[in-house]
Amino acid sequence: MAFNVTKQRNFWWTVSALLTIGSILAMVISWFTIQAPLRPSLDFVGGTRIQIELACAKKNNCEKPLTTAEVQVILEEEGLGNSSVQVLDKYTLSVRTKTLPEEQRTKLLDTLNQKIGTFDPETSQIDTVGPTIGQELFRSGFLALLVSFFGIAVYLSFRFQRDYAFFAIVALLHDVLITVGVFAVLGLIAGVEVDSLFLVSLLTIVGFSVNDTVVIYDRVRENFVNTPELSVDEIVDNAVSQTLTRSINTTLTTLLPLVAIFLFGGTTLKYFALALIIGFVAGAYSSIFIASTLLAWWRGRFNRTKIVQA
């Protein structure tokens, strides 16, 4: 029995439209709040990041958890009032400032040790990235994303036809926008920053999603040849039904290790895994419910004769 995905196409499109609009709104709000659609990490804007953890082995050193307010007061006293402060857990602190020379970094650490408590030097992490390097990294990552979209469009145009390629790109944009939108919200609510790994995750999402779409499109093309007497909607529904189990199984087996990384990995890998989880789920959804139904709608309404030749 075929899964009638085309019959409920308006519902699937409405869900995607709401998620996409919500993502765009989140980025707009983020832009007006922090002057960026996403909260950028040190990788992109440059500066100095100091991550330190209270030495709880020392007696009475961890009697109360850290707060951003008390750290912000100290930073303002040091002339670093525009710095970003995050409390990663009760006793771990991440401070991002403008680029600081070694002498000023040492002075800031000494002040934090005196006014807050003793921090463990063995777990301290200090990173400095120049603004030029950060901007170049962002440009390179963004260019890689654009090139991947262009390459996919060209490949699908040759393997299938241009309308197949167009709707596959629409589905990919849907997946990327939803992932970016979720991180825009996380940046506003929880101060989550995006780094170079986030760009890697977007490229990975694009590759995963287009692979799922190609599998469905390939079956659609076969069904057009093998069952030309059926309507466009029936052909697409059959193709989705024939590949549905494969799509679900592939997505679930891919998500299992990602969920494990998200739950048990470090802070950096945690958000990398989260981006992949969101993108892979969105990719599986868009391949089944968006790319296929858009193709069925377009070909059924405007281009029925060309389908038989596909």
* Res. 305 pLDDT band, cuts 50 70 90: very low
* Res. 265 pLDDT band, cuts 50 70 90: confident
Q: Where are the alpha helices (DSSP H) in the chain?
A: 9-34, 42-45, 68-77, 102-115, 131-159, 162-190, 196-226, 232-264, 267-285, 292-302, 304-309
Quote the CA–CA distance of 69 and 145 in Å, as a whole number.
Answer: 38
* Res. 100 pLDDT band, cuts 50 70 90: confident
Residue ranges per structural domain of the chain: 9-39+132-309, 47-129
Candidate from 87-101, 193-207, 287-301 with smallest mean pLDDT:
87-101
Quote the CA–CA distance of 98 and 78 in Å, as a whole number.
Answer: 12
Candidate from 64-73, 196-205, 246-255 with smallest mean pLDDT:
64-73
Mean local confidence (pLDDT), 92-109? 84
User: Which pLDDT tens digit goes with each residue over 118-161?
Assistant: 888 888 888 877 666 667 777 888 898 899 999 999 998 888 88
The predicted structure's pLDDT at residue 186: 94
Q: Does 26 score more than 80 pLDDT? A: yes
Mean local confidence (pLDDT), 223-235? 87
- Could you say which architecture CATH assigns to the domain 9-39+132-309? Up-down Bundle (1.20)
Yes or no: say if 303 and 179 are a contact pair by the CB < 8 Å rule.
Answer: no
The predicted structure's pLDDT at residue 55: 84
Mean local confidence (pLDDT), 268-284? 93
Question: Bridge partners of 54?
Answer: 119
Yes or no: say if 214 and 165 are a contact pair by the CB < 8 Å rule.
Answer: no
Mean local confidence (pLDDT), 165-170? 94
- 193 DSSP assignment: P
The predicted structure's pLDDT at residue 20: 96
Mean local confidence (pLDDT), 299-305? 67
CATH level 3 topology of 47-129: Alpha-Beta Plaits (3.30.70)
Quote the CA–CA distance of 234 and 244 in Å, as a whole number.
Answer: 15
User: Which pLDDT tens digit goes with each residue over 179-219?
Assistant: 999 999 999 998 888 888 899 999 999 999 999 999 999 99
